[in-house]
Chains A and B, each alone.
Chain A
Amino acid sequence: MTTAPAAPDDPFRGSPWPRIAAVALAIYVVYACAQLEVSWERLQSGLGNAAHFFSRLFPPNFSRSDLLIKGLTESLEIAILASTLGIVLALPLGLAAARNLMPAWLSWPARFVIVAARSLHPVIVAILFVKAVGFGALAGILALTVASIGFIGKLFTEAIEEISDKQVEAIRATGAPFVSVLAYGVLPQVFSRFIGFATYQLDSNLRNSTMVGIVGAGGIGGTLFAAFQRFDYDYVCAILISIIALIMAGEVFATAIRAIFIENATFADLFRRGDALRHVRHTEDD
């Protein structure tokens, strides 16, 4: 033994790929900043602006509260109607798209409709409906209905495809017709998940219904955008505060519905123990 064994490789040395990826990412950031003409000077001049901007936002001006309340009410109505229509239309569509219950000739077209409904942002869909049915709440309702069909249809299909076959087979074995198989074999298994994503969609529609007004589809968004373009910043601030309050109230309401239907809570429970609400997990998606 004259030659010393070669030093073993460092066992803690990782794969080189993360470093290569990090360098590539850094190069991309520099390139993209150059493309977007993002520079330090611009950022700095903007920050000077920011102080001026925020000083004009405060104090919020709630003096035109009648217009504010009208807009918020319309947003709320759009959200409620769009969620209702969306759920009513998405349930049969989601069922038709479930591959474990339906033949392929039915499930594939249904899946295509659901994917198409999800692919465009609700505000873009709202633009199209504004052109099709004119300015106003109707365009907003239709746009958010399309978005709801996409989201609820997709999740409902997935929920149905994940159910256990045993209960379905048991009901079938009794000679039950197809509608009874659905009512007693399928729906009880997906009901709690359905409540989860229906309340989530209501929440999401409420958020978007405050925005579709930017393109003229009704609700508070139109008032917000108009105030913004008039540099009426203290009114903008009042609108933003009201929107956030409305959304937070909607979130509390959605959590209460989930507690009642999934955890079997009663009204008294909702007020008595805050922890009843804490068990209900929130699915977050946009």
Chain B
Amino acid sequence: MADALGHERVWRRFTRAQRLTRFGVYLAIVAAIAMAAQTVEVIPEFLADAPEQVVDLLSRMWPIDFAHYPEAIHAALMETLHIATLGTLLALVLALPVGVLAAHSVVPSVPVNLFARLILVSSRSVNSLVWALLFVGIFGPGALAGTLAIAFRSIGFVGKLFGEALDEAQHGPIEALAAAGAPWMSRLTFGYWPQVRPAFWSIALFRWDINVRESAVLGLVGAGGIGMVLDSALNLFQWTRVAMVLLAIFAVVIAAEVVVTQVRRRVI
């Protein structure tokens, strides 16, 4: 197609600036990958040797030491589940008020919202293993440190999603309550809570599922649960026991996922 001056007009999906931006991002990505691949310390012999080593590792894991399960693994597995569940419950209790404070439609004060957001962001940006290290430093090794680590990591996650759910709640019922002269607390319990209750329980279940996975590794830094059994088996090169621990973790993770799916379908 040509315009009045006879120039060829070509239809393009993006403007020149958009194309340049995209090109810049592609270039940056390629450069980053190339630089990382060049400077990272990878020993080529180790890489070439890897398949052989993996086969060797698997052959040492066989046969799986099932007898170790009733001896030590079962108790540690239960401890892991308790850590995950108690940690999630504690996180729910702590995250509820923070989530409320972070929701602008419930607490219409920007400084308060920002302060609550700051709590949520700092909770989320510290990994649960780091939280576990800190709590092991304070309370000493054991399940207490693990439970608190799970709880503190989860506050940010639960609080953020709960605050967003509150912000998305419909205003009709709340305005009706306000018009009837309901105080702030009643608007919260009778206006917002019924609307966000399903979201809240579904966030709780989701986080519990994640916490079951995370609590399995906390023992590596001494914060209790099945990770400690795994750590000692690894340090003693008892590979058949390691295989049993991994199998147990795998089974619990799958079971937790099934439980969450079923509960979500039936109750929420």
Contacts and interface: CB of A to CB of B under 8 A. Distances in A.
Contact of A50 (B14, B40, B138, B161): B138
A265 to B, nearest CB: 7
Interface in B78-97: 78-79, 82-83, 85-86, 89
Contacts of B110: none
Interface residues of A, number: 68
A244 B134 CA distance: 15
Contact of A36 (B57, B216, B224): B224
B46 interface: yes
Interface stretch (B63-71, B100-108, B141-149, B173-181): B141-149
A81 B37 contact: yes
Given A77-B36, A121-B213, A211-B127, 18 more contacts: A35-B79, A36-B79, A36-B82, A49-B138, A77-B39, A81-B40, A119-B254, A123-B217, A123-B220, A127-B234, A136-B46, A210-B127, A214-B221, A215-B220, A218-B41, A265-B18, A284-B157, A286-B214
Nearest to A286: B210
Contacts of B78: 35
19 contacts: A32-B85, A36-B82, A36-B143, A36-B224, A38-B147, A46-B140, A46-B144, A49-B138, A53-B134, A74-B40, A120-B246, A132-B50, A132-B54, A138-B42, A207-B127, A210-B127, A224-B133, A265-B18, A265-B21
A233 B40 contact: no
A234 to B, nearest CB: 13
Interface of B: 14-15, 17-18, 20-22, 24-25, 32-33, 35-37, 39-43, 46-47, 49-50, 53-54, 57, 78-79, 82-83, 85-86, 89, 122, 125-127, 129-130, 133-134, 137-140, 142-144, 147, 157, 160-161, 210, 213-214, 216-217, 220-221, 224, 230, 234, 246, 249-250, 253-254
Contacts, number: 164
Contacts of A138: 42-43, 46-47
A257 B138 CA distance: 40
A147 to B, nearest CB: 11
B133 A141 contact: no
Contact of A74 (B18, B41, B82, B214): B41
A240 B89 CA distance: 27
Interface string A132-143: 111011100110
B125 A247 contact: yes
B53 A132 contact: yes
A1 B133 CA distance: 76
Given A264-B18, A286-B210, A136 B217 contact: no
B36 A80 contact: yes
A225 B40 contact: no
B99 to A, nearest CB: 14
Contacts of B214: 121, 286
Contact of B33 (A80, A228, A243): A80
